[in-house]
Amino acid sequence: MNDALVFLVSTLLSLYQGALLLRLIMQLTRADFRNPAGRAVVQITDPVVKPLRRLLPAAGKVDTGTVAAIVGVGLVKLLIIQMLVFSVPLGLNHTVRLLAIDLARLVLQTYFFCILLYALLSFVAQGSYSPVQHLLASVCEPILSPVRRRIPPIGGLDLTPVWILIAIQALLLIVR
């Protein structure tokens, strides 16, 4: 029962944290927020981000309210899991280290799934418009373009997403 509860809490809070991270990445890459998929991300994350934006001013292009929400949800997730597993929160140093690792894994996993979905949609819905594909292009192209310039297509097939996904998996193994 306890393992199921830890899994449920971890999964739900990680998904919400991923939505917050996607919002931040969309802001940094200047993705179209009028896009239906972009609007969905904003609607899901607004209840947490809007109050924080009133308290924390933006730092250049970085929306500090969204960053604070990502860190805050991650901290709440870790504290709940620590309470469920150990019945007491662990020390501050240990929690901060776990939070940093969790945030690094979140960024890598978010990009992994975005790039994977973007690559799959490029095969399935080739030449057609999809709001999700347009949003994923805004998020993924800043990562894919520099690699694409160095690794040319092989036989007309762009394998850049495959190489990036392999690199992300290797980084996830290191972070673990």
Tens-digit pLDDT profile for residues 115-168: 999 999 988 877 777 889 999 999 999 999 999 999 888 887 889 999 999 999
Instruction: Quote the CA–CA distance of 58 and 62 in Å, as a whole number.
Output: 6
Q: Give the number of other CB atoms < 10 A from CB of residue 96.
A: 12
What residue spans define the domains of the chain?
Answer: 2-175
Helix, strand, coil share of the chain (percent; to 5)? 80, 0, 20
What pLDDT, in 10s, does the model give residues 90-102? 788 988 999 999 9
Q: Is the full-model pTM beyond 0.85?
A: yes
How many degrees, rounded to 5, is the angle at CA 26 between CA 171 and CA 28? 80
Handedness of CA 21, 23, 28, 31 (dihedral sign): positive
Q: What is the pLDDT of residues 112-121, one digit of tens each?
A: 999 999 999 9
